Amino acid sequence: MKVQNICCIGAGYVGGPTMAVIAKKCPDIKVTVVDINQERIAAWNDENVDNIPVYEPGLSAVVAEARGRNLFFSTDVDKAIDEAEMIFISVNTPTKTYGEGKGQAADLKWIELCARQIARVAKGDKIVVEKSTLPVRTASTLKDILTHTGDGLSFQILSNPEFLAEGTAVEDLMDPDRVLIGGDQTPEGLNAIQALVDVYARWVPKDKILTTNVWSSELSKLTANAYLAQRVSSINSLSELCEFTEADINEVARAIGTDSRIGPKFLKASVGFGGSCFQKDILNLVYISRSYGLNEVADYWEQVIIMNDHQKRRFAKKIIKNLYNTVSGKKIAFLGWAFKKDTNDTRESAAIYVADHLLNEQSFIETYDPKVKKEQVYTDLDYLGSRSSEENRKNLTVGTDPYKVCEGAHAVAVLTEWDEFKTYDWKRIYDGMLKPAHVFDGRNILDKEALRSIGFQVHAIGTAD
């Protein structure tokens, strides 16, 4: 079967870039991305392609090329479902904030709504593709909903999890390490798998397209994230030990990373991992394991989260300790608010939690991030509910000029590894600050020796200073 019409429900950080790249690579397939969020769709359709809602290097060029040709963004979900032979579900699956499984289980209400909408609208057979990250066995729920309300139509459910990382989404989509497609091992299921393989095979080498049963695919996505996050928590746990022993975490990371069995990537000690997925996916893995009575398995993975919370708290405490055990009334400048560089996404960013801790100690914070909008910073803080939004606006301000943001500060804290922070005129920053002037480098990106020779007191992650 040759796919001619694709619909993707969910125009977020995954749906938008993924469909833009499919449309670029398959000009003969019509790709329609739909969302219930009108503002988001309007932004994807903005005449000025620099105003699209997701910032990713290279993305605006891909959108500019395909939009209006075979890539469309719309709020008419029913029409897009009706037209498509293949429907990707790429909606959000956050941690539940209520009821059974609150704080751990994935909230699947948006997924279920999509399934019900597909069942209601579909007039012909469809291939439904799970693009969202889902608990293992979700495909059986989807199948249940689709076949019980779908007027005897035939639905094939595929699992095709996305492995792109934000900040490198376009690169990851154009040249992925692998594409994973899971489906039923029946003749109909294998046909559906083949239809999706044929889409990716336009630009991904065949040996990088892995096909599995649907459960392996669902579980592999959760576990890939758990493994990655576990590496960050492992190196972060050692960063604390380094600070007590005069070992240097950068040297340790290099030494262990050159072992080809360990590998050099994902060994950067930091203020803690953030992002919308690591925490939620591990919590989900913990919840699933516990629901099968596998307490040791659950405890093992939960430790990755416990370590990460500790690392964020530890960074805030380090600032307080070095500012003579009080930050009350002191100004601290934050460089970076996004959860990593090259993205405007702030979900679960370490900066939010470090700021919250310092605000509880009555410090005053001014932040600067090259891509994050002011309102987003306040939304993130208000969401925690630690204090009123008036207080958040009074005690934290958001600047647009990094030099001004650092002026009059007791300390500068680097929360995101944006490249531009390395190239600042640090002498100028030093001259504008109160003395002693402290730098807390939560990403180990600055040249410590150069800063020290200017006069800064420098505190990095995983070194004894």
Q: Which residues bind ligand UGA (CB under 6 A)?
A: 133, 162-166, 225, 228, 232, 266-268, 270, 273-275, 277-278, 339-340
Please indicate whether residue 406 is annotated as part of the active site.
Answer: no
Does 162 bind ligand NAD (CB under 6 A)? Our answer is yes
Least distance in angstroms from the C-beta of 47 to ligand UGA: 28
Distance CA 73, CA 40 (A): 9
Give the whole-angstrom CA distance, residue 137 versus residue 156.
Answer: 14
**Least Cβ distance, residue 144 to ligand UGA (angstroms):** 25
How remote is the C-alpha of 311 from its chain's centroid? 18
Told to check if 12 binds ligand NAD by CB under 6 A, we report: yes
Q: How far is the C-alpha of 420 from the C-alpha of 402, rounded, in Å?
A: 10
> Hey, is 155 helix, strand or coil?
strand
Q: Cα separation of 241 and 249, whole Å?
A: 9
Q: Which is nearer to ligand UGA, 156 or 217 (CB)?
A: 217
Instruction: Say if residues 135 and 95 touch (Cβ distance below 8 Å).
Output: no
Alpha helices in 52-108 (DSSP H): 59-66, 77-83
164 binds ligand NAD (CB under 6 A): yes
Q: What type of residue is 192?
A: A
Residue with tokens 């109160």: 434
CA distance 373 to 389: 16
Q: Tell me: is residue 69 an annotated ligand-binding position.
A: no
Compose the 19-58 pattern: x for residues touching ligand NAD by CB under 6 A, - for all others.
---------------xxxx--x------------------
Task: Please check if 140 is assigned to a binding site.
Answer: no
- Can you read off the two tokens belonging to residue 412? 């500068």
Q: Which of residues 426-445 bind ligand NAD (CB under 6 A)?
A: none
Partner interacting with residue 150 (select from ligand NAD, ligand UGA, none; CB below 5-8 Å by kind): none
Using CA atoms, how far apart are residues 44 and 15, in angstroms rounded to an integer?
Answer: 11
Closest to 162 in 3D by CA, of 79, 224, 100:
224
Place of tokens 């019509």: 30
Interface with ligand NAD, residue 88, by CB under 6 A: no
Among ligand NAD, ligand UGA, none, the one that 462 touches (CB under a kind-dependent 5 to 8 A) is none
Instruction: Quote the least distance from Cβ 53 to ligand NAD, whole Å.
Output: 8
Nearest CA to 56 out of 93, 21, 89 is that of 21
Q: Following CA atoms 134, 136, 139, 144 in sequence, which dihedral angle do they give, to the nearest 10 degrees?
A: -110
In the complex, least distance from residue 265 CB atom to ligand UGA, rounded to whole angstroms = 7
Cα–Cα dist 110/201, whole Å: 30
Q: Is 231 annotated as a binding residue?
A: no
Q: Does 211 show up as a binding residue in the annotation?
A: no
Which residues, at least 6 apart from 3, have a Cβ–Cβ distance to it below 8 Å? 29, 85, 86, 127, 195, 196, 198, 199
Give the one entry of ligand UGA, ligand NAD, none that residue 217 binds, where binding means its C-beta sits below a cut-off of 5 to 8 angstroms depending on kind: none
Q: Which of ligand NAD, ligand UGA, none is residue 273 near (CB under 5 to 8 Å by kind)? A: ligand UGA
Q: How far apart are the first and last CA of the chain?
A: 62
Q: Which is nearer to ligand UGA, 182 or 275 (CB)?
A: 275
Q: Give the shortest CB-354-to-ligand UGA separation in angstroms.
A: 13
Which residue number, 217 or 239, has a Cβ lying nearer to ligand NAD? Answer: 217
121-150 positions binding ligand NAD, by CB under 6 A: 132-133
Question: Is the bond preceding residue 205 a cis peptide, omega within 30 degrees?
Answer: no
The DSSP-derived string for 361-373 is TT-EEEEE-SS--
Question: Considering the complex, what minimum distance in angstroms separates the CB of residue 76 from ligand UGA?
Answer: 28
Q: Which residues are catalytic?
A: 277
Annotated binding site for substrate: 162-166, 221-225, 261, 268-274, 339-340, 443
Annotated binding site for NAD(+): 10-15, 35, 40, 91-95, 132-133, 166, 277-280, 347
Annotated binding site: 10-15, 35, 40, 91-95, 132-133, 162-166, 221-225, 261, 268-274, 277-280, 339-340, 347, 443
Please report, as ranges, the residues that interact with ligand NAD according to CB under 6 A.
9-15, 34-37, 40, 77, 90-93, 110, 113-114, 132-133, 162, 164, 166, 276-277
